[in-house]
């Protein structure tokens, strides 16, 4: 599915479309959203009529994740970035990132259908059609993750196969039994399934899978990772990037030449992260246009990107990110699709007075990124409560190992506790 009427718009009608959508959203948001209203008033904007053009848009303040977290802490449990009364909302999800307490996000029925449309475009970019059977090996919980992909498959008319709560061998057997043609998962998990299949003598290239779509972590946009996935599965691997705060904002086309930003549903900017000035390479800033209930306006993603200069050979005119997401502007670690920050790990460790020093080891276990937290403990039995604290904080189990007291490095200046093995 390639909607040429939208995806090949020339710049002028595309900008007109975006501006109309944004003005309509702004009028609605300013009537009931305390979070946005307070931010814009502080910036000197009061009625939506003050938005006369793109110069006014660029004067709007950026939004950062810290603000949203602080707002929810001050107004629990959902904060004030809500345009409508709570009775209008039908779903709650939360971020996987662990810079602290996860940010919760509420959805109205209209917003959830918008999620479905955006993910349908992701799948369509990878060539998925109603004839496909889309396999989703994802444990469905509060993390929005691949919930959107499930809805996107429905919106596209494809057969969705949810496969949460199963181990990897069972998932592979189910894929074979049901004739799955598309796999949607993190790139690390796709490689892990290749490893599991090899151990069991299963040749995945003989399955009918013809495309894999990846999100949740960088990887599918990295040529060597993509090559390993495609070799292991005998299928084309497509990249995608999205965020709980923003939605499914990008997709890859058949040319596999970077991520297209879905500019029919998003306003995209790239800025110098230090000055906020426009840049060809820098931080990606996005405004979503279809989530009026809880919008993200000029949201600083923290993702480093580079704008492609040449038009894509597929014919789409949407902005294209060369190489996809190039990396994070912070020191985020990604483990099994979950975002982990060293500061968040330290926050948990420092709850235990017996620990003087710790270290975070990052290593590869088979095809998956893993971390091990080394803690100085006199009594090794103290490891278990630390593991439980990590599980409660992050929703995944981390390896924790006790090491002798005074065995880890000390630092006079800035500590370097993350070590890659």
DSSP SS3 for 166? coil
In sequence order, what are the residues at sequence separation of 6 or more whose Cβ sits closer than 8 angstroms to the Cβ of residue 241?
215, 249, 250, 259, 303, 324, 325
List of residues 6+ apart from 130 with CB closer than 8 A:
156, 157, 158
Same domain? For 234 and 129 the reply is yes
CB distance 337 to 220 below 8 Å? no
Spatial distance between the Cα atoms of 103 and 72, rounded to a whole number of angstroms: 7
C-beta of residue 182 within 8 angstroms of C-beta of residue 211: yes
Phi, psi of 30 (to 5 degrees): -70, -10
Which among 383, 376, 267, 270 has a CA at the least distance from the CA of 321?
A: 270
If asked whether residues 152 and 246 sit together in one domain, one would say no
My answer on whether 134 and 233 are in the same domain is yes
The strand pairing partners of 185, in sequence order, are: 214
What's the CATH code of the domain at 347? 3.30.300.30
Same domain as 32, residue 76:
yes
| CATH number reported for the structural domain that contains residue 176 in this entry | 3.40.50.12780
Q: Are residue 275 and residue 353 in the same domain, yes or no?
A: no
For residue 159, the SS3 value is strand
CA 166 – CA 242 distance, rounded (Å): 25
Q: Looking at residue 391, what is its pLDDT?
A: 92
pLDDT of residue 414: 40
Which residues contact residue 138 at a Cβ distance below 8 angstroms, ignoring those fewer than 6 apart? 145, 146, 147, 149, 162, 163, 164, 184, 185
Identify the helix (H) or strand (E) that includes residue 373: strand 368-376
Q: Estimate to the nearest angstrom the gap between the alpha carbon of 67 and the chain centroid.
A: 18
Q: Domain boundary at 219, 239, 259, which? A: 239
pTM, entire model: 0.80
Same domain, 131 and 216: yes
Indicate whether 78 and 120 sit together in one domain.
no
At 182 the three-state DSSP class reads strand
HEC sequence for 266-284: EEEEEECCCCCCECCEEEE
Q: Are residues 315 and 272 in the same domain?
A: yes
Q: What is the pLDDT of residue 187?
A: 82
Cα-based torsion angle of the residue sequence 392, 396, 402, 406 in order, rounded to the nearest 10 degrees: -80
161 near 126, Cβ under 8 Å? Answer: no
Q: Cβ(363)–Cβ(370) under 8 Å?
A: yes
From residue 177, alpha-carbon distances to 159, 160, 173, 311 in Å are 14, 14, 6, 41
* pLDDT in the model for residue 97: 55
What pLDDT is recorded for position 399? 94
Measure the CA–CA gap between 208 and 205, rounded to whole angstroms: 8
The range of the structural domain enclosing residue 250 comes to 4-107+242-328
The b-or-e profile of 30-61 (16+ CB within 10 A means b, else e) is beebebbbebbeeeebeebeebeeeeebeebe
Residues 230 and 311 in one domain: no
Return the pLDDT at 285.
98
* Gap between the Cα atoms of 49 and 43, Å rounded: 15
* Run of H or E including 365: strand 358-365
Question: How far is Cα 316 from Cα 210, in angstroms, rounded to an integer?
Answer: 23
Q: From residue 406, give the alpha-carbon distance in Å to each of 345, 387, 414.
A: 20, 21, 18
> Based on the domain organization, do 233 and 293 belong to the same domain?
no
Count of domains for the chain: 3
The pLDDT of residue 130 is 97
Q: Are residues 388 and 316 in the same domain?
A: no
Q: Are residues 1 and 129 in contact, defined by beta-carbon separation less than 8 angstroms?
A: yes
Q: Which of 310, 328, 346 is the last residue of a domain?
A: 328
Q: How far apart are the C-alpha atoms of 179 and 183, rounded to whole Å? A: 11
Last residue of a domain, one of 191, 211, 239: 239
Is the domain of 51 the same as that of 132?
Answer: no
Which residue numbers in the chain have pLDDT < 70? Answer: 1-2, 96-100, 218-219, 331, 343, 410-415
């Amino acid at each position: 599915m390639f909607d040429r009427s939208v995806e090949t718009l020339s710049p002028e009608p595309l900008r007109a479309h975006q501006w109309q959508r944004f003005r309509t959203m702004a009028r609605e948001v300013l009537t009931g959203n305390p979070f946005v209203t307070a931010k814009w008033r502080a910036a000197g904007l009061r009625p939506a009529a003050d938005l006369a053009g793109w110069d006014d848009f660029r004067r709007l303040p950026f939004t950062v994740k810290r603000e949203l977290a602080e707002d929810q802490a001050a107004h629990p449990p959902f904060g004030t970035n809500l345009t409508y009364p709570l009775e209008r909302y039908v779903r709650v999800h939360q971020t996987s990132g662990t810079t602290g307490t996860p940010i919760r996000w509420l959805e109205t029925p209209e917003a959830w259908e918008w999620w479905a449309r955006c993910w349908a475009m992701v799948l369509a970019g990878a060539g998925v059609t109603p004839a496909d059977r889309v396999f989703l090996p994802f444990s469905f919980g509060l993390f929005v993750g691949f919930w959107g992909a499930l809805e996107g498959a429905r919106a596209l008319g494809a057969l969705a196969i949810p496969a949460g709560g199963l181990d990897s061998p069972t998932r592979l057997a189910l894929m074979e039994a049901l004739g799955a043609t598309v796999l949607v998962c993190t790139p690390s998990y796709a490689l892990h399934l290749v490893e599991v299949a090899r151990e069991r003598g299963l040749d995945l290239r003989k399955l009918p899978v013809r495309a894999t779509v990846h999100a949740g972590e960088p990887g599918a946009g990295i040529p060597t990772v993509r090559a390993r996935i495609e070799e292991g599965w005998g299928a084309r691997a497509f990249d995608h990037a999205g965020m709980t705060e923003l939605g499914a904002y990008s997709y890859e086309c058949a040319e596999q030449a970077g991520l297209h930003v879905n500019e029919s549903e998003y306003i995209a900017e790239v800025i110098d992260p230090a000055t906020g000035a426009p840049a060809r390479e820098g931080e990606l800033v996005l405004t979503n246009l279809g989530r009026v209930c809880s919008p993200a306006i000029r949201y600083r993603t923290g993702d480093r990107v580079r704008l492609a200069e040449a038009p894509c050979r597929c014919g789409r005119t949407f902005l294209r990110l060369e190489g996809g997401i190039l990396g994070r502007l912070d020191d985020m670690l990604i483990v099994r699709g979950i975002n982990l920050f060293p500061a968040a790990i330290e926050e948990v460790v420092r709850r235990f007075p017996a620990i003087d020093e710790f270290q975070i080891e990052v290593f590869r276990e088979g095809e998956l990124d893993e971390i091990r937290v080394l803690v100085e403990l006199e009594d090794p039995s103290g490891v278990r409560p630390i593991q439980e604290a990590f599980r409660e904080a992050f929703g995944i189990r981390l390896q924790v190992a006790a090491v002798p007291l005074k065995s880890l490095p000390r630092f006079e200046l800035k500590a370097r506790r993350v070590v890659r093995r």
